Amino acid sequence: MCPPTPPDAPVTSARGPTRLRVDTLLKADAIDDFTHGPFDPRVSHYTPIGYPCDADDEPQMATTMSRLSRKADSARTVALVLAVLGYRRRLRRRDQWSRPKLLSYQDEALARLRAHAYAKSPFYQDFHAGLTDAPLSALPVLTKQRLMDNFDCLMTRPDVHLANVERYLAQLRGNELFNNRYFVSATAGTTGRRGIFLWDFAEWVQVVSSYNRAFDWAGSSAGLTHRVKTAVVSSTNPSHQSARVGASIHSRWVPTLRIDSGDDIASVVARLNGWQPEMVIGYASMLRLLAEEQSAGRLAIRPQFIFSASEVLTDATRRLAADAWGRPPYNVYGATETSGIAAECGQHAGLHLFEDLVITEVVDADNRPVSPGQYGTKVLVTVLFSRTLPLIRYEMSDSLQLAPPGHGCPCGRPYALISGIQGRQQEALNFPAADGHARTIQPLVFHHVMDTVSAAGWQVKQQGDGRLVVLLAQPQHVDPAALRVALRSALVGQGVQPPPIEVQEVPAIPRTALGKAPLIIRQ
Ligand SMILES: [Zn+2]
């Protein structure tokens, strides 16, 4: 049913560069076709620019990009920036919708996604066999493992094969596209096998726009006539989605300094001081560190907008950032698979779900819906604009909570609110209870204790033998014995037997390959 990967399939198309169709892309109708009408592959097949090279040229492509290709690259960037600005207007109009209108749009968008998947994806034809008319909640859950095991079958385009995408990713250096057509990002692979995701130009417009919506809601009116100097302290690995988004929109309209969050903090501070960004985007752990640096006087920047774009933004980090820069940070929730999922508006009353772009189901370990006001174990996401790689009820291990009824946001936007994000399922640690059974302790239990500690960062590590090791980066006036007592009593309060706890002072919290510093980890 699913065609096998041709052994010597070319990595890139043999066609010459596709003519740039800015006019097509800019017509509201072109984007509209994608989101409102039946899917029109012609829009995405006019994906702007390719490099005229054969598979044999591919290894040299990144380093020997011709002048012509660089021009093509710039043209694609211009087209993307303009298309995103155009799409922003559409997204803004949705902010004015009533909730019934939003839900009705969501139903229509879901029907279009499913019709596309059933027509074009051999995997979904089989996976949803007999269920094509069933409600979303009756459909099977798609895990990352299953997705990657069935990658070629799941694709709706015959020119995408995993082996070729892997080869392309191994050589990716900048903003080159796979098969001259697709933007590709990979997840870190910290939780098992890495996931690989693809988007064509029309989809990528919506990926970038979803992140841009968070900036828009915060009041940043970046555009062609108003540039906002931005600093992103994140992963600079070219296959990481934030690097990919950054590379694709890098232009004089989007002056951005990208810093790897794994770099030495003194160097990060020096570069930020030199750049003086108006907008700072970083992982929560990095914002905390930077807030400490600002308060200590080593960092001296005055950003108008601060975004926490990954990891758990705890109340303490939020306060530290607000104290350091005189304005609260905006929390943004996104993932490689979905792009932006939710963001805060200026009310900071929670994160509004981007329900016009992604359907987010908060569920327990058995995929049953969890009531608002309760933390789920994971989320199932359906990405309404996904077409190249349709994602329907895709499982992600984030634990979050929808706001209970009556806890709306005064801004009037129609989107549901997330009232809490406590991290990933992997951050929930197990301890023995008095009855001998293992019991799961949610990350928030540790956040509440550790948030009282004054330090440039912290991490709770559960060792293989169950012991807890607490790392404190540059702690100030912290009594390790008192901290151990506080953690022990929090665990006893949850009905579990506390293990031995060790507190260690470290110069910095160790970061993962992508530069993150998880608050809670299991070893
Ligand atoms: Zn709001």
> Both tokens of residue 180?
């001259």
Beta bridge partners of 380: 361, 395
**Which pLDDT value is given to residue 39?**
28
Alpha carbon of residue 504 to chain centroid: 31
Ligand 1 centre to CA of 98 (Å) is 14
Ligand 1 centre to CA of 361 (Å) is 20
Q: How far apart are CA 149 and CA 53, in angstroms?
A: 30
Q: How far apart are CA 480 and CA 472, in angstroms?
A: 10
Element (H, E) at 318: helix 315-325
The more confident residue out of 55 and 521 is 521
Ligand 1 centre to CA of 260 (Å) is 31
Ligand 1 centre to CA of 101 (Å) is 17
By mean pLDDT, which of 123-127, 324-328, 452-456 is the weakest? 452-456
Ligand 1 centre to CA of 443 (Å) is 26
Ligand 1 centre to CA of 126 (Å) is 40
**Inter-residue contact 359 to 369 (CB < 8 Å):** no
**Inter-residue contact 279 to 230 (CB < 8 Å):** yes
**Which pLDDT value is given to residue 245?**
85
Q: How far apart are CA 238 and CA 247, in angstroms?
A: 8
Most confident among 13-17, 96-100, 405-409, 425-429 (mean pLDDT): 96-100
Element (H, E) at 292: helix 284-295
Which residues make Cβ contacts (< 8 Å) with residue 472, sequence separation at least 6? 453, 455, 457, 458, 478, 503, 504, 505, 506
**Which pLDDT value is given to residue 469?**
95
Q: Closest Cα partner for 46 from 181, 247, 244, 245? A: 181
By mean pLDDT, which of 28-32, 450-454, 459-463 is the weakest? 28-32
Predicted confidence (pLDDT) at residue 416 exceeds the cutoff of 60: yes
Ligand 1 centre to CA of 417 (Å) is 8
What DSSP designation does 263 have? S
Ligand 1 centre to CA of 357 (Å) is 17
Ligand 1 centre to CA of 225 (Å) is 27
Q: How far apart are CA 241 and CA 260, in angstroms?
A: 14
Across residues 322-328, what is the average pLDDT?
Answer: 96
Predicted confidence (pLDDT) at residue 62 exceeds the cutoff of 60: no
Predicted confidence (pLDDT) at residue 281 exceeds the cutoff of 60: yes
Predicted confidence (pLDDT) at residue 274 exceeds the cutoff of 70: yes
pLDDT in tens, 137-165: 999 999 999 999 999 999 999 999 999 99
Residue 18's pLDDT band, with cuts at 50, 70 and 90, is: very low
Residue 285's pLDDT band, with cuts at 50, 70 and 90, is: confident
Ligand 1 centre to CA of 351 (Å) is 8
Which long-range CB contacts under 8 A does 178-183 form with residues at least 24 apart?
178/11, 178/12, 179/11, 179/12, 179/13, 180/12, 180/13, 180/15, 180/17, 180/18, 180/47, 180/49, 180/50, 180/51, 181/13, 181/44, 181/45, 181/47, 181/50, 182/388, 183/207, 183/244, 183/248
**Inter-residue contact 302 to 325 (CB < 8 Å):** yes
Q: How far apart are CA 299 and CA 271, in angstroms?
A: 10
By mean pLDDT, which of 5-14, 367-376, 506-515 is the weakest? 5-14
Ligand 1 centre to CA of 406 (Å) is 14
Ligand 1 centre to CA of 328 (Å) is 15
Residue 303's pLDDT band, with cuts at 50, 70 and 90, is: very high
**Which pLDDT value is given to residue 260?**
87
Predicted confidence (pLDDT) at residue 57 exceeds the cutoff of 50: no
Ligand 1 centre to CA of 103 (Å) is 17
Residue type, 362: V
**Which pLDDT value is given to residue 517?**
83
Could you tell me the sign of the dihedral formed by the alpha carbons of 252, 253, 257, 260, in that order? Answer: negative
Ligand 1 centre to CA of 252 (Å) is 31
Across residues 202-218, what is the average pLDDT?
Answer: 94
What DSSP designation does 137 have? G
Ligand 1 centre to CA of 100 (Å) is 17
> Both tokens of residue 179?
């098969």
SS3 of residue 145 by DSSP: helix
Across residues 49-73, what is the average pLDDT?
Answer: 42
The more confident residue out of 196 and 452 is 196
**Which pLDDT value is given to residue 422?**
86
**Inter-residue contact 505 to 499 (CB < 8 Å):** no
Residue type, 477: H
pLDDT in tens, 71-86: 777 788 888 988 998 9
**Inter-residue contact 413 to 399 (CB < 8 Å):** no
Ligand 1 centre to CA of 415 (Å) is 8
Ligand 1 centre to CA of 230 (Å) is 24
**Which pLDDT value is given to residue 384?**
97
By mean pLDDT, which of 189-193, 314-318, 433-437 is the weakest? 189-193
Ligand 1 centre to CA of 411 (Å) is 4
SS3 of residue 362 by DSSP: strand
Ligand 1 centre to CA of 213 (Å) is 13
Ligand 1 centre to CA of 324 (Å) is 24
Alpha carbon of residue 56 to chain centroid: 34
**Which pLDDT value is given to residue 4?**
53
**Inter-residue contact 207 to 223 (CB < 8 Å):** no
**Which pLDDT value is given to residue 208?**
92
pLDDT in tens, 227-242: 889 999 988 878 888 8
Ligand 1 centre to CA of 381 (Å) is 22
Across residues 79-106, what is the average pLDDT?
Answer: 94
Q: How far apart are CA 284 and CA 305, in angstroms?
A: 14
Ligand 1 centre to CA of 343 (Å) is 9
The more confident residue out of 318 and 426 is 318
Question: What is the average pLDDT value for the chain, to the nearest integer?
Answer: 84
pLDDT in tens, 211-232: 999 999 999 877 767 788 999 9
Report strand pairing: 429-432 vs 417-424.
Answer: unpaired
**Which pLDDT value is given to residue 32?**
32
Ligand 1 centre to CA of 352 (Å) is 7
Q: CB atoms < 10 A from the CB of 119, how many?
A: 11
Ligand 1 centre to CA of 379 (Å) is 22
Ligand 1 centre to CA of 89 (Å) is 18
Ligand 1 centre to CA of 301 (Å) is 28
Ligand 1 centre to CA of 450 (Å) is 29
By mean pLDDT, which of 190-199, 309-318, 496-505 is the weakest? 190-199
Predicted confidence (pLDDT) at residue 167 exceeds the cutoff of 70: yes
Q: How far apart are CA 237 and CA 459, in angstroms?
A: 24
Ligand 1 centre to CA of 349 (Å) is 6
Ligand 1 centre to CA of 416 (Å) is 9
Ligand 1 centre to CA of 283 (Å) is 22
Residue with tokens 């094969």: 161
**Which pLDDT value is given to residue 172?**
85
Ligand 1 centre to CA of 337 (Å) is 24
Predicted confidence (pLDDT) at residue 64 exceeds the cutoff of 80: no
By mean pLDDT, which of 6-15, 176-185, 228-237, 500-509 is the weakest? 6-15
Ligand 1 centre to CA of 112 (Å) is 28
**Which pLDDT value is given to residue 51?**
25
